[in-house]
Structure 1
Amino acid sequence: MGNEKNELANRRCTPCEGGTPPLSAKQAERLLQGLEGWESQEGMIYRTFRFKNYCQTMAFVNAVAWIAHRENHHPDLQVGYNTCRVSYTTHAIGGLSENDFICAAKVQQLQD
């Protein structure tokens, strides 16, 4: 399963437009298995990352922002003193797309 994570992290997001169907629950579950610590709920995937201090948290947030800009796929972030919850969904299709998993794998590499 680690290979699937690396495969996802090495891919690039593709534009996703309305009319494209979201991933099925089975497809999403298969992709989720390659992402350690990520969970799925109501058409999104999320993970809470923990840090030693605020400075490390903000460095992580900035790295996630860079990934989002580069991939043109943006997560919702909930930032605390030493935590950051990263949530992905593809709003244009009202559910999960492969882009969500690609970006999650890239974000996960920040702590691997």
Structure 2
Amino acid sequence: MSALPISESEAARSVPGPWQVADGVLVADYTTSNMVKGGEFVARIIDAAEELNHHPDIDLRYSTVHLALLTHSVGALTELDVELAQAISEIATELGLG
């Protein structure tokens, strides 16, 4: 995947809900049944991020996982962000979160 900037509208069109673009960042909130399940979700996200060598900002608050994606080295959204968001969405689906 490319680290070239993409438009906010292109990023928003490329990923399924609950992803949205807010202030130039691709964000999503997922709710799990409890903190343990949230931690398991975060662990799976970390594995996917390591495979892509592209790392999200993650905030785990009890059962809610807030994610923010932006290619910091470019200062914009890129296809890397879209690819990771798609991978996270697949993980969420596998875990019954979305």
> TM (normalized to structure 1)?
0.76
Report Cα offsets for 1:36-91 as digits up to 9, x if no partner.
21110122101111011111000001001101111100000011110110110001
The CA RMSD measured in Å over matched residues stands at: 1.4
Given that 2:8 and 2:77 are in contact with CA atoms closer than 8 Å, whether structure 1 keeps it comes out as no
1:96 correspondence with 2:90 = no
1:87 correspondence with 2:94 = no
Aligned position for 1:25: 8
> TM (normalized to structure 2)?
0.86
Count of matched residue positions in the alignment of Structure 1 and Structure 2: 93
Residues 37-52 of structure 1 correspond to what in structure 2 (within 5 A)?
Answer: 37-52=18-33
**Which portions of structure 1, spanning 4 or more consecutive aligned residues, are displaced by more than 6 angstroms?**
none
Q: Which has the larger radius of gyration?
A: 1
Aligned position for 2:96: none
Letter in 2 for 1:101: V
Aligned position for 2:58: 77
Letter in 2 for 1:64: I
Question: How far is the alpha carbon of 1:25 from its aligned partner?
Answer: 3.4
Q: Distance in 1 between matches of 2:8 and 2:39?
A: 33
Q: Distance in 2 between matches of 1:28 and 1:111?
A: 19
1:63 correspondence with 2:44 = yes
